Structure formats: structure tokens, C-alpha cells
Amino acid sequence: MISTRKLWLKLLGEVAKFVGDVSKKEDQEALVAATVEKFGQLNVFVNNAGVEAVTPFLKIDEKELERTFKINVFGTVYGTQAAAEQFIKQGTPGKIINACSIAGHEAYEVLGTYSASKHAVKAFTHVAAKELASKHITVNAYCPGVAKTKMWDRIDAEMVKADPSLKPGEPFAKFSGEIALGRYEEPTDVANLVHFLASEDSDYITGQAILVDGGLVYN
Ligand SMILES: NC(=O)c1ccc[n+]([C@@H]2O[C@H](COP(=O)([O-])OP(=O)(O)OC[C@H]3O[C@@H](n4cnc5c(N)ncnc54)[C@H](O)[C@@H]3O)[C@@H](O)[C@H]2O)c1
């Protein structure tokens, strides 16, 4: 009988891990180099890592701005540069896929720093797509809404801390209660869009920040 691990490897293909900090340019370059060494070439690069910040505007400080922008914005720029350099070196087409957010389309109270960082991700997605199109590199972003992950567990806890009239779970329920399709987002809802953007079915799409939010933000 095939073990669960072997079954996953059969389904997923070969996988490898790499530990690094996305906000460091040298780590992004090392990630690409390790990928090429292991798999022969790079085809798709996803800038998924990101952090939230939940703070009233008047309390936003240098530490929060630096951390959030370093990871969400610098990380996306360095990852995109490292991947694009490799695609150009290979002389192949390539796909770069960035994690944006509904907060890259709208700005939310107490999520100012996070919203600004995701607006920056959207802007860099547009610009990189324009500049890299002639090299057959597409650059797109996926914009989740309210997905049940550890990030939202932390956002919920921080919102409760900021407003003691709220009970744990209420901020998540309030935000997800506004979703037109009537349920909160599962990580697989996001993964389905990323899968599409990584596939040849999306070959004629570039420079887009596509909402996958069950009907929350419309534009
Ligand atoms: N959960 C949501 O509702 C939601 C909504 C919109 C956008 N997003 C975006 O989707 C992406 C994934 O979010 P998630 O909900 O899975 O968050 P998460 O906190 O559950 O996971 C984020 C991952 O990023 C990694 N990470 C953080 N800083 C890093 C660094 N400096 N270097 C390397 N890795 C680092 C963490 O270790 C973690 O594995 C993020 O960019 C987030 O902003 C999430």
C-alpha cells in the first residue's frame, strides 16, 4: 500500500523547502538559485508571504511601518526582481503572482498600514507587468477577502484588544457577514485562483489584481 506521504508526492510532484526572509533581497535570490539547482529552471514565482498590522491611524509608528512595508512591499519587489532576472537568464516566459488583498482596492479603518502596503503591491504589479511584458513575463496579483487563516485569528484578537466592547470572533463575523456568497473564504478558494494564474489558461492576462472575495469589494 502507498503511504500518505508518497501519495501526496505523487499528486503534487516533487517538493523542496527553503527557509528565508522575503524582506531580504539576498534571500530571494538564494531561493531562486536553490529552485533552479533542484528543478532545473523556474516557471512560476508566488510572492505569498505577508503580515498584517491593526492600529488606529494616530497610533501608527515607525516600527509598524517598517515591518509591514519591509515584508509586504520590499519582499514583493525583491521576489519579483529575483524571479524576473532568472526568467530573462533562462530566455523563457515566466509567471509572477503576488498576494494583494481587498485592502489593496479599499482602505480599512485600523488597517491603514496594511491597506497602504497592499495598494503598493498592486502598483508594483501594474508596473512590473508593463515593464516585463516584452520579455514574455506576466505579473498578476490575487486579492483575497476574509479568509480563515492564522492572519485573521490575529486581526480578530487585535481588533478586540482595540475595542473592549467586542467579543472574540465578532470582528471576523462582522467582516465575513458582509460577503455576498454567504460564507467566509477558505484557503482553497484563494489557491484555486493562484492555480489558474500559474496555468497556461491565464497566458493572456497580465497586470491584474484579481479579487477573490465571495462578493465584498466591487471594482
Ligand atoms: N487571510 C486573509 O483573509 C487575507 C486576505 C487578503 C490577503 N491576504 C494575504 O495573503 C497572504 C497569505 O496570508 P495568510 O492569511 O495565509 O497569512 P498567515 O499569517 O496565515 O501566513 C503568512 C505566512 O507568511 C510567512 N511570513 C511572514 N513574514 C515572512 C518573512 N519575512 N519571510 C518569509 N515568510 C514570512 C509566515 O511565516 C506565514 O507562513 C498574505 O500576503 C496576506 O496579506 C490574506
Give the residue carrying C-alpha cell 497556461.
200
In a domain, residue 200? The reply is yes
pLDDT exceeds 90 at position 12? no
**Which residues are known to be catalytic?**
114, 118
Domain residue limits at 134: 38-212
What pLDDT band is residue 6 in, cutting at 50, 70 and 90? Answer: low
The total number of structural domains in the chain stands at 1
> Do residues 102 and 213 make contact, with C-beta atoms less than 8 angstroms apart?
yes
Within 10 angstroms of residue 103's Cβ, the number of other Cβ atoms is 23
pLDDT exceeds 80 at position 157? yes
- Note the pLDDT tens digit of each residue in 18-50: 999 999 999 999 999 999 999 999 999 999 999
| Residue closest by Cα to atom 24 of ligand 1 | 49
What is the best residue among 28, 67, 122, 149 to mutate for testing ligand 1's pocket, by most ligand atoms within 8 Å of CB?
149
Handedness of CA 152, 32, 24, 198 (dihedral sign): negative
| Residue closest by Cα to atom 34 of ligand 1 | 49
Can you list the alpha helix ranges (DSSP code H) found in the chain? 4-12, 25-39, 62-68, 75-90, 112-132, 150-162, 170-177, 187-198
In a domain, residue 218? The reply is no
In a domain, residue 23? The reply is no
Residues near ligand 1 with C-beta < 6 Å?
21-23, 48-51, 71, 99, 101, 144, 146-147, 149-152
Q: Quick one: which atom of ligand 1 is closest to the CA of 70?
A: 31
In a domain, residue 109? The reply is yes
The CATH number assigned to the domain holding 80 equals: 3.40.50.720
In a domain, residue 189? The reply is yes
| Averaged pLDDT, 109-127 | 98
- Burial readout 24-52 (b: 16 or more C-beta within 10 A, e: otherwise): eeebbbebbeebeeeeeebeebbbeebbb
pLDDT attached to residue 173: 96
How far is the C-alpha of 59 from the C-alpha of 190, rounded, in Å? 32
Q: Which three cell numbers stand for residue 80?
A: 519579483
